[in-house]
Homo-oligomer: A and B are copies of this chain.
Amino acid sequence: MLFSQLIFNLERGKAELQEHYLGKDPELLTGASLENASSSQLTFLEQESSLKSQLSESKAGAVLLPPQPELIQKASEIGISWAVLKNPRLAFAESLSLLNPRERPPEGIHPTAVLGENVLIGNKVSIGAHVSIGNNCEIGNRSIIHPGVVIYANVLIDEDSELHANCVIHTSSNLGKRTTIHSNAVIGSEGFGFVPTSNGWYKMPQTGIVIIESDVEIGCGSTVDRPAVGETRIGAGTKIDNLVQIGHGVTTGKGCAMAAQVGIAGGAQLGDGVILAGQVGVGNRVHVGNRVIASSKCGIHADIADNEIISGFPAIPNRLWLRCAASFKRLPELAKTIRDISRAASE
């Protein structure tokens, strides 16, 4: 795609194109990072990027820039094509979609797929090899079910969803529009509920359901359990990375983001816009307020108010934790000082 064609599209995008310089109007094939980009590649820089100084050595065909005069000047000096946008990272994302449009598998139902009774398949759906779909399911228009996916009975999958290879959707789950489930994720499996008895653990039947709202993405190998009663709910626009565990009866608000290996125990409730970094744990029935940010490996055992930034285990405010962690390194030294003072005092 010529850079001029890309500009034509970015003008209609959301990244707010401000000005641009076509230069030799290079043919762009793919995107690349600033250090690695070649003359057929697009790259970008952000306001706060530590790579700014490397712009003058870039071999990229074109660069997307934030509205910063010194960057524009530098790009012009080295004769590279450029565009200035309010949000160059967003423009880069839009550009990658244009340069490398996602290939759709062919429409239709592969002959090796096995469908139960009373399955409704929308228009332009693609169902891959060795897929298994239980009775009374519904697959919305344009949805893609990749090979090896297993869907139990009574599942609803709304329009424009994509289920990657070998993921499993359990009975009565309800997936909203534009849901993406990545490979080997498991949605709607039985929650971990047992009643202790004198004869051992007695299984609590998990008769509830999982509801995934629209525009949710769930990573490879992640698991979202259904509860004993009621529902587990993932709020619209929430993005979940790989190997994340969502316990039975959890609800999340809209637009949350969870990095890999996060674990959320049964009945916990997350507000809107919560961000959990990698390997964070949230305890049973804990309420996490809107827009809370938890740094990696944080363990959240008690309710957290809106807008808090937390760290550590048990979780405390991030700023306090940074100071505590700094003191922790000096503990042996502090302990020695105390001993010295104590000894001096008792002499």
Contacts and interface: CB of A to CB of B under 8 A. Distances in A.
A36 B314 CA distance: 31
A92 to B, nearest CB: 8
Contact of A297 (B313, B320, B344): B313
Contacts of A299: 279, 296-297
Interface string A321-340: 00111111111101101100
Contacts of A296: 265, 281, 283, 299, 301
A85 to B, nearest CB: 12
A93 B326 CA distance: 45
A132 interface: yes
A278 B184 CA distance: 21
A342 interface: yes
B329 A324 contact: yes
Interface string A282-294: 0100000000000
Contact of A205 (B96, B215, B239, B345): B96
B245 A243 contact: yes
A229 B147 contact: no
Interface stretch (A20-28, A67-75, A119-127, A162-170): A162-170
A217 B178 CA distance: 33
Contact of A220 (B36, B87, B148, B186): B186
Contact of A168 (B165, B279, B281, B330): B165
Interface string A198-224: 011111110100000001010111010
Interface string A115-153: 000000000000011101000000000000011101011
Given A166-B168, A207-B31, A325 B334 contact: no
A96 B87 CA distance: 53
A174 interface: no
Nearest to A340: B342
- Count class of interface residues, chain A: 35 or more
B147 A132 contact: yes
Interface of A: 14, 30-33, 36, 87, 89-90, 92-93, 96-97, 99-100, 102-103, 110, 112, 114, 128-130, 132, 146-148, 150, 152-153, 164-166, 168, 170, 182-184, 186, 189-190, 192, 194-195, 197, 199-205, 207, 215, 217, 219-221, 223, 225, 228-230, 237, 239, 241-243, 245, 247, 254-255, 257, 259-261, 263, 265, 278-279, 281, 283, 296-297, 299, 301, 313-314, 316, 320, 323-332, 334-335, 337-338, 341-342, 344-345
Given A182-B190, A331-B331, 20 more contacts: A14-B202, A87-B195, A92-B204, A99-B207, A100-B207, A110-B114, A114-B130, A148-B168, A150-B183, A164-B168, A164-B189, A165-B168, A183-B189, A189-B242, A192-B242, A219-B223, A278-B281, A278-B283, A327-B335, A334-B334
